[in-house]
Amino acid sequence: MNYWETCIQEAFEDAGIEATKEQIDTVVCWVEGAHENYGMAHGHDAIPNPLQAENEQLKRELKRQMSKIICPECKGSGWEFVAGPVHSGMSSCHKCRGEGLVTA
């Protein structure tokens, strides 16, 4: 049994309609065709899937993140010691911007 045949049979049962196998097959054929034509007429086959686009973006981001290495300047801490003539202190690393990782 296919999807549309099951739907039509259940709809007929709920509505109290008795139909022969041939009648159900005819209705199924029309419903399948109408469904396909509706999708084509409204561009459902041409609309990009937003989840697929998001998935591709996340894959690119993951690949970029996986290509990173430990920052050679701060040794992965994200901080660097800044020494001046009058004072000194800690600052976020200028090379990795405090992330601790840089692109290889």
**What distance in Å separates the CA atoms of residue 67 and residue 6, rounded to the nearest whole number?**
51
For the chain, the C-alpha Rg in angstroms (whole number) is: 31
**pTM of the model as a whole:** 0.42
Please name the helix (run of DSSP H) or strand (run of DSSP E) that holds residue 101, with its range, or none: strand 101-103
Q: Using 70 as the pLDDT threshold, list the residues of the chain that sit under it.
A: 1, 43-47
pLDDT score at 61: 93
pLDDT score at 37: 80
**What distance in Å separates the CA atoms of residue 76 and residue 73, rounded to the nearest whole number?**
8
The domain limits of the chain are: 3-41, 50-103
Say which residue the tokens 């739907």 belong to: 7
Structure tokens at 24: 């159900």
pLDDT score at 22: 93
pLDDT score at 45: 61
pLDDT score at 46: 61
pLDDT score at 1: 52
Alpha-helix runs per DSSP H in 1-104 = 3-15, 21-41, 50-66
